């Protein structure tokens, strides 16, 4: 990225002054090294988002930002419905409510000394993964409606997990305001056989070791310590979310001119929050959030079964589940006044700080767990929302490493089999359904997640709690 177009506010915060059609400035949280490695299109997309009606304070980009569809991936923007604010399907993304959940196991590294290969096989057999993967659960029409309305609560009621899980899921497992009637038959058909599946791309299930603890007080409350074994699951709403995004983007492109909305990029198609189309999209998007929460809940149940097949003493308990492709109505303080805003987080994680009333009581004093996925073969992180996160970017943080090259470029550069063998030599067991998929997700195709996390902490977006090293990775 050309830094000459930016104003440096400090070592981790850069501003693009409002100019032209921009209603607010752009703000990028990144080190100079991360910025120089970003595509110039990230800045362009930040500026484009800043032109949308009703945007409040600034258009933000997180440290892991890279070029996306409409919004940059790692983009955050809040809109006021009372100021003609809009909702943008491109500001949520196609994999609606893609997110991460992490579970503790009660196991230590030594417990996996001889069991790791068998556990890898058990997980791979239990958990469907890959492009077009299908599960054993097939939903009829009434069951589909119940899932879209109930989310993880519905999954628990069907026997997939425990009621105690719900307290540690964003929205306590069920997104209010979901409207199954706003979800097309095509979207439902795509999802009918995909519940309880990982999918492909950057989605995964990893068995990880806690190798570093940076804040022991928060780690104790989160229930993690050095040498512990945890499990992280990264996936979203599968075909249903993608279909919803596709269909509503097309409708928003057509309808935007009727509301006097000038789009700097068709990919930023949007609708007023108070319009019938805006409300329909929000209802469908919330249904997709529930689909993703239910999907991760079912995968948790399957992971528990796989562990019990090999290590019967393991107790997989949910630490937290948080999404990073959503638009949510939240109360935020702007210029000293509480306002109800619709916060788009695309490739960005909600990061409520200590004392936030929407947090479960167990986390109220330390802030929300923020789960940062690394790339295959590299470390992941557990963070916590900071006291400054509200004022920095509407209580938002990064979501992962962020891609440094496209999947096509990665597939040309790496051989999947060689990647698997190299990671095995480093003690990481990979089980995947596609060699090309492994090549596309090679660790070198991503930014340095440790640099991203350090910048997030220095910028006041979140607080580092622990670092996780992969031992087993199930990929599509």
pLDDT at 154: 97
pLDDT digits (tens, 9 = 90+) for 270-328: 999 999 999 999 999 999 999 999 999 999 999 999 999 999 999 999 999 999 999 99
Flag the least confident range among 77-86, 118-127, 196-205, 247-256. 196-205
Q: Is the pLDDT of residue 130 over 70?
A: no
Q: Is the pLDDT of residue 46 over 90?
A: yes
pLDDT at 25: 98
pLDDT digits (tens, 9 = 90+) for 348-402: 999 999 999 999 999 999 999 999 998 788 899 999 999 999 999 999 999 988 7
- Phi and psi dihedrals of 9, rounded to 5? -90, -40
CA distance 224 to 105: 10
Q: Is the pLDDT of residue 217 over 80?
A: yes
Per annotation, catalytic residue among 66, 301, 356, 399: 399
- Residue 141, token pair as written in the block: 């029409």
pLDDT at 200: 80
Q: Would you call 242 a catalytic residue per the annotation?
A: no
Per the listing, tokens 């909702």 go with 87
pLDDT at 138: 87
Q: Are 136 and 331 in contact (CB under 8 A)?
A: no
Confidence of residue 91 (pLDDT cuts 50, 70, 90): very high
- Phi and psi dihedrals of 150, rounded to 5? -105, -20
Residue 292 to residues 98, 237, 299, 373, 476, Cα–Cα distance (Å) = 7, 4, 10, 17, 17
Rounded mean pLDDT of the chain? 94
Cβ neighbors of 337 (< 8 A, separation 6 or more) are none
Distance of CA 219 to the CA centre of its chain: 21
pLDDT at 319: 98
Q: Is the pLDDT of residue 131 over 70?
A: no
Give the SS3 label for residue 225.
coil
Cβ neighbors of 180 (< 8 A, separation 6 or more) are 144, 145, 148, 149, 287
Confidence of residue 132 (pLDDT cuts 50, 70, 90): low
Which residue pairs, CB below 8 angstroms and at least 24 apart, start in 327-336? 327/87, 327/88, 327/91, 327/92, 327/282, 327/285, 330/394, 330/395, 332/78, 332/390, 332/394, 332/395, 333/390, 334/56, 334/57
Mind listing the domains of the chain with CATH numbers? 3-404+446-475 (3.90.1860.10)
Residue 136 pairs with which residues in a beta bridge?
Answer: none
Closest CA to 375 of 331, 410, 343: 410
How crowded is residue 444: how many other Cβ atoms within 10 Å of its Cβ?
13
Q: Are 12 and 29 in contact (CB under 8 A)?
A: yes
- Residue 310, token pair as written in the block: 């090999």
CA distance 463 to 217: 12
pLDDT at 444: 86
- Residue 201, token pair as written in the block: 């791309």
pTM of the model: 0.96
Neighbour-count burial for 41-54, b at 16+ CB within 10 Å, e otherwise: ebbbbbbbbbbbbb
Q: Are 69 and 90 in contact (CB under 8 A)?
A: yes
434 exposure class (CB count in 10 Å sphere: 0-12, 13-18, 19+): middle
- The mean pLDDT value for 79-98 works out to 97
CA angle, 393 then 394 then 399, to 5°: 65
pLDDT digits (tens, 9 = 90+) for 181-204: 999 999 999 999 899 998 888 899
Cβ neighbors of 366 (< 8 A, separation 6 or more) are 217, 218, 221, 222, 354, 384
């Amino acid at each position: 990225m050309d830094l000459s177009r930016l104003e440096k506010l400090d070592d981790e915060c850069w501003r693009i002054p409002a100019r032209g059609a921009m209603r607010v400035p752009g703000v990028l949280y990144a080190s100079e090294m991360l910025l120089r490695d970003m595509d110039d299109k990230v800045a362009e997309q930040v500026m484009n988002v800043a032109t949308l009606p009703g945007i409040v304070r600034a258009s933000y980009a997180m440290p892991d930002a890279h070029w996306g569809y409409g919004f940059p991936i790692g983009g955050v923007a809040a809109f006021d419905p009372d100021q003609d604010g809009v909702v943008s399907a491109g500001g949520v993304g196609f994999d609606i409510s893609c997110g991460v959940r992490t579970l503790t196991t009660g196991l230590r590294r030594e417990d996996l000394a001889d069991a790791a290969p068998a556990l890898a096989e058990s997980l791979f057999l239990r958990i469907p993964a890959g492009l077009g993967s299908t599960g054993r659960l097939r939903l009829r029409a009434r069951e589909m409606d119940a899932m879209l309305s109930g989310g993880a609560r519905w999954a628990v009621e069907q026997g997939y997990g425990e009621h105690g899980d719900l307290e540690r899921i964003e929205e306590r497992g069920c997104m209010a305001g979901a409207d199954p009637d706003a979800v097309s038959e095509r979207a439902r058909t795509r999802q009918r056989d995909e519940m309880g599946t990982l999918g492909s791309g950057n989605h995964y299930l990893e068995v990880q070791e806690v190798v570093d603890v940076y804040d022991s007080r928060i780690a104790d409350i989160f229930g993690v310590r050095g040498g512990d074994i945890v499990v992280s699951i990264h996936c979203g709403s599968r075909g249903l979310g993608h279909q919803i995004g596709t269909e509503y983007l097309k409708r928003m492109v057509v309808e935007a001119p009727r509301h006097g909305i000038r789009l700097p990029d068709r990919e930023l198609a949007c609708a007023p929050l108070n319009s019938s189309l805006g409300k329909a999209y929000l209802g469908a998007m919330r249904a997709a959030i529930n689909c993703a929460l239910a999907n991760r809940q079912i995968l948790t149940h399957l992971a528990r079964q796989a562990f019990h097949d090999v290590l019967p003493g393991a107790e997989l308990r949910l630490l937290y589940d948080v999404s990073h492709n959503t638009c949510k109505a939240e109360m935020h303080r702007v210029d000293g006044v509480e306002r109800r805003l619709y916060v788009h987080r695309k490739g960005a994680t909600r990061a409520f700080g200590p004392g936030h009333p929407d947090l479960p009581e167990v986390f109220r004093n330390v802030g929300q767990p923020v789960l940062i996925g690394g790339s295959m073969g590299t470390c992941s992180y557990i963070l916590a929302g900071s006291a400054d996160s509200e004022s920095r970017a509407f209580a938002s943080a990064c979501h992962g490493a962020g891609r440094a090259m496209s999947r096509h470029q990665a597939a040309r550069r790496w051989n999947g089999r060689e990647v698997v063998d190299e990671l095995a030599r480093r003690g990481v067991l990979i089980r995947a359904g596609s060699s090309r998929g492994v090549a596309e997700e090679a660790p070198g195709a991503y930014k340095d997640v440790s640099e991203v996390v350090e910048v997030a902490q220095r910028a006041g977006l979140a607080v580092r709690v622990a670092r996780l090293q992969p031992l087993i990775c199930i990929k599509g």
